[in-house]
A and B are shown apart, each in its own frame.
Chain A
Amino acid sequence: MNMDLKNLTIKKAHKSLSEGEFTCRELAEAYLKVIQEKNPEINAYLEIFDDVLLQAEGAQKKFSDGTATVLTGIPIAIKDNILFQGHTSSSGSKILENYTATYDATVIKKLKSAGAVIIGRTNMDEFAMGVSTENSAYGVTKNPHDITRVPGGSSGGSTACVAMDGALVALGSDTGGSCRQPASFCGVVGLKPTYGSVSRYGLTAMGSSLDVIGAIGKNISDVKIVFDFIVGVDEMDSTSIPLKFYEKKVVSKPVIGIPRDFIVEGVDPRVIANFEETVEKLKFAGYVVKDIKLSYVKYAVPAYYVVTPAEISANMARFDGMRYGSSSKSENLREVYIKSRGKGFGKEVRRRILLGTYVLSHGYHDAYYNKANTVRRLIINDYNKAFEQVDLVLTPTTTGPAFKIGEKVDDPVKCYLEDIFTGPANMAGIPAISIPSGFVEEEGKKLPLGVQFLAQHGREDLLFEVGSKFEALQRSVI
């Protein structure tokens, strides 16, 4: 059966499944066929689960017994750091190469009960530390738009997988931009929800005060549907909150703010030009666009690279070669720790553990860690003030299109600067979304660009509303 996967959406697929135009199994098989063709080159998936067709049969039953939801039978990919009971979950790391998840993450439980078909686990930078998937222990993922370039990261496997039609939608995680930056590089939509709105239970931790599970899809509507299914307070994650936790003001026509001072340094002129076009389109559509000032946001990334390594050094302590994960044989306990961790962790993970150990050590704790946390408060204050005047903030998602494989990987600071537009939302805990905004041409290849909308805590609704309008504007121009 030939299906137009390129233009398939969740709603269209649901209609076809409901009307019996194709079955859940046929839909899954259509994606498996694409994966078989494209994945050997792209390396978006680390594993296709062996129970995909079984899941599809289960989904089909939901259609016959009337319990189907809009997600039933929808093929979805999950990032390799989300636990799916009985399946390998390696977080892109050698140390978890043979780890089998002993329970379901809350998001997986929700997807299962909705009847979604979980296709496989996608490649990522080791423990989500990176911006290109080059830090994966299992090889780089290639950008489907140009295989000499990275897909972005750390959720690069998930975004590449959606871009190559290897799944209709995917889950990623976002600690400093890991859903949005790769979405921008791969020409898809990536959502980072409000911190705490989606349960982190069963998400392998990186920076616990910043981590959130996000949705990736070809359009806003698909991303919104997935978000609506995974959102919600969960007793297994004590930092989870209901969406109504934050007060919401009534907004009739959202006003958009632009932090102009912030969008200059080190940004590709083609990105600026594309961004200005975006602003013009939004004005043309009747949105009021205002310049705003965010005084401390420029410190978000340097502060992020103190807070995050600190949390990483604590979170990574659990990998000790004792209870699970790879373990090196040795004479005594201490040697087992040192050797297992020495063999199991890759370069960037070691770098961040040492950096975190340093900023938390006696004598540096105040100068680095405490200071960075205070800066974080100033960033939150910055946004709170801005959101008194505007309802959304707009920036480019990245400073340029996807870069070449090998171009930045040996320079950690260059990699960290990739987070310049995305990191602030994580530091503030606010939701943000990256939406495709056009292309630039390089070496005969069309490379996607994206823009990012940010909103107040709990205002994903505004991101979806204006995002959908912008999407429609894009279509009418093309």
Chain B
Amino acid sequence: MNIKDVENLAELARIELEEYEKKDLLRDMEGILEYVKQIEGIKLDDVETEHGITNIWREDKMEPREFSRELIIKQFPESQDGFLKVKKIL
């Protein structure tokens, strides 16, 4: 891994990094990856990876929920006439 990789990951994750941080992050990531690498050595003979997962469905119908519309709108960083205002995307 190198600084470029850290920059790419930060780009993918949409996080602005300061220059000094990149070096620290690179060092930390290398240390962590070195540590988690020990799972690489485990031999796996036909392990069943399914967890017996089942889907939980519900009917597609409207039901009242206890949200506060007023509180939700209050959280918007920017709003207009009770709508969320965002930057132009096109």
| Partner-B contacts on A (CB < 8 A) | 85-86, 99-104, 235, 238-239, 296, 299, 302-303, 305-306, 313, 320-327, 330-334, 336-339, 341-343, 345, 350-351, 353-355, 357-358, 361, 367-368, 371-375, 377-378, 381, 411-413, 416
Please report the C-alpha to C-alpha distance between residue A144 and residue B67 in the assembled complex, in whole angstroms.
Answer: 38
Q: Output the residue of B38, B42, B56 with the most chain A CB within 10 A.
A: B42
B61 located at the interface, meaning its Cβ lies under 8 Å from any Cβ of chain A in the complex: no
Asked whether, in the complex, the Cβ of B32 is within 8 Å of the Cβ of A305, the reply is yes
Per-position contact with A for B12-36: 1 when CB-CB < 8 Å, else 0? 1111110001000100110111011
Q: In the complex, what's the smallest C-beta–C-beta distance from A275 to chain B, in angstroms?
A: 25
Main secondary structure of the interface of A (DSSP, over half): helix
B88 located at the interface, meaning its Cβ lies under 8 Å from any Cβ of chain A in the complex: yes
Asked whether, in the complex, the Cβ of B32 is within 8 Å of the Cβ of A350, the reply is no
Asked whether, in the complex, the Cβ of A350 is within 8 Å of the Cβ of B17, the reply is yes
Whether A302 touches B39, Cβ cut-off 8 Å, given contacts A99-B75, A333-B86, is yes
Please report the C-alpha to C-alpha distance between residue A362 and residue B15 in the assembled complex, in whole angstroms.
Answer: 20
Please report the C-alpha to C-alpha distance between residue A353 and residue B10 in the assembled complex, in whole angstroms.
Answer: 9
Please report the C-alpha to C-alpha distance between residue A372 and residue B44 in the assembled complex, in whole angstroms.
Answer: 11
Whether A416 touches B6, Cβ cut-off 8 Å, given contacts A85-B71, A323-B75, A350-B25, is no
| Partner-A contacts on B (CB < 8 A) | 5-6, 9-10, 12-17, 21, 25, 28-29, 31-33, 35-40, 42, 44, 47-49, 51, 56, 58, 65-68, 71-72, 74-78, 84, 86-89
Asked whether, in the complex, the Cβ of A306 is within 8 Å of the Cβ of B74, the reply is no
Asked whether, in the complex, the Cβ of B84 is within 8 Å of the Cβ of A100, the reply is no
- Which B residues touch A238, using CB under 8 A? 56
- Apart from A350-B25, A358-B5, A358-B29, 9 more pairs, CB < 8 Å: A103-B67, A235-B58, A306-B36, A306-B39, A322-B86, A324-B76, A357-B9, A372-B39, A412-B31
Asked whether, in the complex, the Cβ of B14 is within 8 Å of the Cβ of A416, the reply is no
Whether A302 touches B68, Cβ cut-off 8 Å, given contacts A99-B75, A102-B75, A327-B77, is no
Asked whether, in the complex, the Cβ of A416 is within 8 Å of the Cβ of B39, the reply is no
Q: In the complex, what's the smallest C-beta–C-beta distance from B57 to chain A, in angstroms?
A: 9
The residue from A330, A373, A416 contacting B35, defined by CB atoms under 8 A apart: A416
Q: In the complex, what's the smallest C-beta–C-beta distance from B50 to chain A, in angstroms?
A: 9
Asked whether, in the complex, the Cβ of B87 is within 8 Å of the Cβ of A351, the reply is no
Whether A337 touches B31, Cβ cut-off 8 Å, given contacts A354-B25, A373-B49, A375-B39, is no
Q: In the complex, what's the smallest C-beta–C-beta distance from A123 to chain B, in angstroms?
A: 22
Whether A341 touches B25, Cβ cut-off 8 Å, given contacts A85-B68, A322-B86, is no
Query: Which residue on chain A has the smallest CB distance to residue B41?
Result: A299
Asked whether, in the complex, the Cβ of B35 is within 8 Å of the Cβ of A361, the reply is no
Please report the C-alpha to C-alpha distance between residue A351 and residue B31 in the assembled complex, in whole angstroms.
Answer: 12
7 examples of A-B residue contacts, CB within 8 angstroms: A303-B39, A305-B36, A332-B88, A333-B89, A368-B36, A371-B40, A374-B49
- Which B residues touch A321, using CB under 8 A? 77
Please report the C-alpha to C-alpha distance between residue A345 and residue B67 in the assembled complex, in whole angstroms.
Answer: 27
Please report the C-alpha to C-alpha distance between residue A103 and residue B69 in the assembled complex, in whole angstroms.
Answer: 10
Asked whether, in the complex, the Cβ of B66 is within 8 Å of the Cβ of A104, the reply is yes
- Which A residues touch B16, using CB under 8 A? 338-339, 341-343
Q: In the complex, what's the smallest C-beta–C-beta distance from B3 to chain A, in angstroms?
A: 12
Asked whether, in the complex, the Cβ of B14 is within 8 Å of the Cβ of A338, the reply is yes
Asked whether, in the complex, the Cβ of A353 is within 8 Å of the Cβ of B15, the reply is yes
Query: Which residue on chain A has the smallest CB distance to residue B16?
Result: A342
- Which A residues touch B88, using CB under 8 A? 332-333
Whether A302 touches B76, Cβ cut-off 8 Å, given contacts A85-B71, A103-B67, A345-B15, is no
- Which B residues touch A299, using CB under 8 A? 38-39, 42
Q: In the complex, what's the smallest C-beta–C-beta distance from A245 to chain B, in angstroms?
A: 11
Query: Which residue on chain B has the smallest CB distance to residue A367?
Result: B40
Asked whether, in the complex, the Cβ of A351 is within 8 Å of the Cβ of B29, the reply is yes
Please report the C-alpha to C-alpha distance between residue A333 and residue B85 in the assembled complex, in whole angstroms.
Answer: 11
Please report the C-alpha to C-alpha distance between residue A411 and residue B18 in the assembled complex, in whole angstroms.
Answer: 20
Whether A302 touches B87, Cβ cut-off 8 Å, given contacts A338-B16, A345-B15, A358-B29, is no
Please report the C-alpha to C-alpha distance between residue A332 and residue B38 in the assembled complex, in whole angstroms.
Answer: 43
- Which B residues touch A354, using CB under 8 A? 6, 9-10, 13, 15, 25, 29
Whether A86 touches B71, Cβ cut-off 8 Å, given contacts A323-B76, A368-B36, is yes
A-B pairs with the 7 shortest C-beta distances? A342-B16, A327-B77, A324-B75, A238-B56, A333-B87, A102-B71, A337-B14
Please report the C-alpha to C-alpha distance between residue A99 and residue B14 in the assembled complex, in whole angstroms.
Answer: 21
Please report the C-alpha to C-alpha distance between residue A443 and residue B39 in the assembled complex, in whole angstroms.
Answer: 39
- Which A residues touch B89, using CB under 8 A? 333
- Which B residues touch A323, using CB under 8 A? 75-77, 84
Asked whether, in the complex, the Cβ of B86 is within 8 Å of the Cβ of A351, the reply is no
Please report the C-alpha to C-alpha distance between residue A373 and residue B50 in the assembled complex, in whole angstroms.
Answer: 10
Query: Which residue on chain B has the smallest CB distance to residue A109?
Result: B66
- Which A residues touch B42, using CB under 8 A? 296, 299, 371, 375, 378
Please report the C-alpha to C-alpha distance between residue A357 and residue B12 in the assembled complex, in whole angstroms.
Answer: 8
Asked whether, in the complex, the Cβ of A103 is within 8 Å of the Cβ of B65, the reply is yes
Whether A374 touches B31, Cβ cut-off 8 Å, given contacts A332-B87, A353-B15, is no
